[in-house]
Chain A
């Protein structure tokens, strides 16, 4: 077990609704990244948070947004849900080291939240 926790485990929402997913990072880690994993695919990077600010974003629309809190936990919010948003949402925590620039290569994943949009 990595120590990264996510809630809820499963969620069923209707198209057009909004959802909030939560992640608690591993002790000692200061960076949280979110990924979307569709069935049979590898995870796709959504965005990363460091020191409560977005620190890199993948190819996802603005209706995907997030927060990081002072205790390094994080939320992923998705507005106006679409059927294609159905996926496993993964949170990964890591420790960013500032020597030579921001780096957080070793990312440890939580169990994920399975979102179904109907």
Chain B
């Protein structure tokens, strides 16, 4: 079983739709959760990170963590064509030898005008 599982999509929505992106994880060790956005041929861009269960909001983006079910979500409100990208969820655990990010395989999102 992969440490982080993510539906690769592709996901296509009309402009203005609410987008829900989801990941599940298998390891319950001490950890942070991140969402990255990656445009084609670019490096990943950190959108949000959170540690605790519950919601964290930043503009049109909301990150949600449910540690009891090992489920993390990213919601995008009022989606725009500029949101078209691959969204990567990641977790990191504090290990004695530093922190490494473990990524899902990414969900490709297209927002159609």
Contacts and interface: CB of A to CB of B under 8 A. Distances in A.
Contacts of B102: 45
Contacts of B104: 42
Interface size bracket, B side:
20 to 34
B69 interface: no
B91 to A, nearest CB: 10
Nearest to A35: B101
Given A45-B101, A56-B100, A101 B94 contact: yes
A109 B100 contact: no
Nearest to B94: A103
A108 to B, nearest CB: 6
Interface size bracket, A side:
20 to 34
Nearest to B88: A42
Given A43-B44, A110-B43, A102 B99 contact: yes
The prevalent SS among residues of B at the interface is strand
B32 interface: yes
Interface string B5-40: 010100000000000000000000000101010000
Contacts of B45: 2, 109
A105 B92 CA distance: 7
Interface in B44-58: 44-46, 49
A106 interface: yes
Given A35-B101, A92-B101, A106-B49, 13 more contacts: A40-B105, A41-B106, A42-B90, A43-B101, A45-B100, A48-B98, A50-B98, A55-B98, A102-B94, A102-B97, A105-B92, A107-B46, A110-B43
12 contacts: A33-B101, A40-B8, A42-B4, A42-B103, A56-B95, A58-B100, A92-B101, A104-B98, A106-B49, A107-B46, A110-B43, A112-B43
